[in-house]
Structure 1
Amino acid sequence: MSEENRTSIDTSLSLGEIVLSFPDSVELFNMYKLDYCCGGDQKLSEAFEDLKGEGVDTDKLLEELNRKYSAFLEKKEEIRDWRSETPSGLIEHILNTHHVYTKKTLQELDDMVLKILKVHFKDYSEELLVVHSLFGSLKTELEAHLIKEEEQLFPMILSYESSSDESLLSDIRKFISETESEHDAAGDILKELEEVTRDFTPPDGTCTTFKRAYMTLDDLEKDIFTHIHLENSVLFKMF
């Protein structure tokens, strides 16, 4: 069934396909930790098998997903289908939306994470030392990753788009493979941060900066998930 005629979501669809046709699905996917970014090719049926092992009622979850999807269809909102975009158009969006946000947010978090470690060391040193270390690893990973995309991969893709030089394809695909591995590495760090922070939930009674730091980490994670999804499930599949 074509996406235009689809009236419901079934478990034969991949997580990436669902997010592309129904962007609001990310709210449920994030809640149940379904990996639509690095694991966008996974079928919903496969993801549900994992959830069943954790005691989740996947029949009810599918019902909830379809209730939200029906409401989405009724609103008849137009969504931008990035699969019909040119590589250069999608790259421009990724740079202006996700790269700019990531760089800015990493700098903000660098100050906040260090500040809460210093101020709350006495009471929360065990947790915050791990958060500080993991965030440092994430920042290093992402900063280098963004530079490699901006200086190597994206210019190569733009060159191919304008020239159709087939000799560029093997290099593009090599860089894509490396980039996807880096996405996995960033995703693994984020999962560790989720665990140590109880899904970015600050301890009771902590200060505004502590709460803001965890909230910003949560926001950064969500943006990274969307960023990776657009690259893995859309841009890279063009090649």
Structure 2
Amino acid sequence: MSTPSTIHAEALAVFQAMPSKHLIDYIVENFHDKHRAQLPELINLARKIEDVHNDHEACPAGLAELLQSMYQELESHMMKEEQILFPMLAGGIYPSGPIAVMEEEHDQHEQMLAELLELTHQNQAPRGACGSWIMLYEGLNELVKDLQLHIDIENSILFKQADKPASSGHGNGHCCGGCQ
């Protein structure tokens, strides 16, 4: 029987074989677009739970605000990747400075996920929770799983593609200035 970590490792191995351009397209379509759809729905559900169940001891007070902050941070991060970094990577340019910034932001996203998990008791709805609360935590579990895989693919594979021999050479003879 496969464990979640085994499945995660197998997924990473599949992505390892993909050319940068295909991997970038996959990331945008399967993670960026998905996060943009997930978070507004989760924010609305969190607000509902906080409003309706504010007197319950397990109510995740502040969750909607945390999710809103995550959404803003992720949106800014994803736009920088899509508009600046990903076109460079797709062209065979691997600027160390911008990659380091994205990795640092990934660390911040992971810290926010840890805060989310602490606030929601590891996304475990309390006994007798309503359907909306259960749906919220199921959605949060999916977000956590998706975002962790997303970060791992970028940090472990996409950003490390520069270590592979490139057929086109670094920027076809042009340097972006991030090599120094």
Displacement after TM superposition at 1:120 (Å): 1.0
Whether 1:198 and 2:121 are equivalent positions in the alignment is: yes
> Matches of 2:6 and 2:128 in 1, distance apart?
30
Query: What is the match of residue 142 of structure 2?
Result: 219
Whether 1:131 and 2:54 are equivalent positions in the alignment is: no
CA shift digits 1:120-175 (9 cap, x unpaired): 11224x742232232222112111111111111111222x33xxxxxx54xx2211
Q: Which runs of 4+ in 1 moved over 6 A?
A: none
One-letter amino acid of the structure 2 residue matched with residue 192 of structure 1 = E
> Matches of 2:137 and 2:48 in 1, distance apart?
13
One-letter amino acid of the structure 1 residue matched with residue 85 of structure 2 = L
Query: What is the match of residue 15 of structure 2?
Result: 82
One-letter amino acid of the structure 2 residue matched with residue 153 of structure 1 = L
> Matches of 2:62 and 2:30 in 1, distance apart?
29
| Structure 2 unaligned blocks of 5 or more | 163-180
> Matches of 2:6 and 2:17 in 1, distance apart?
24
- The structure that has the greater radius of gyration is 1
> Matches of 1:150 and 1:86 in 2, distance apart?
17
Over the residues paired in the alignment, what is the CA RMSD in angstroms?
2.6
Query: What is the match of residue 178 of structure 2?
Result: none
> Matches of 2:88 and 2:132 in 1, distance apart?
41
Residue 234 to residue 185, structure 1, CA distance change in 2 (3 Å) = same
Query: What is the match of residue 154 of structure 1?
Result: 86
CA shift digits 1:86-112 (9 cap, x unpaired): 110100111111111111101211211
> Matches of 1:79 and 1:226 in 2, distance apart?
8
Query: What is the match of residue 97 of structure 2?
Result: 174
> Matches of 2:59 and 2:54 in 1, distance apart?
9
Please report the TM-score for the alignment, with normalisation by the length of structure 1: 0.61
> Matches of 2:64 and 2:39 in 1, distance apart?
12
Displacement after TM superposition at 1:83 (Å): 2.0
Query: Which has the larger displacement, 78-87 or 142-151?
Result: 78-87
| Structure 1 unaligned blocks of 5 or more | 1-23, 31-35, 41-71, 73-77, 162-167
> Matches of 2:113 and 2:12 in 1, distance apart?
28
Query: Which has the larger displacement, 86-95 or 129-138?
Result: 129-138
> Matches of 2:148 and 2:63 in 1, distance apart?
19
Of 97, 117, 120, the match for 2:53? 120
Displacement after TM superposition at 1:79 (Å): 9.1
State, as a whole percentage, how many aligned pairs show the same letter.
31
Please report the TM-score for the alignment, with normalisation by the length of structure 2: 0.80
One-letter amino acid of the structure 1 residue matched with residue 45 of structure 2 = M
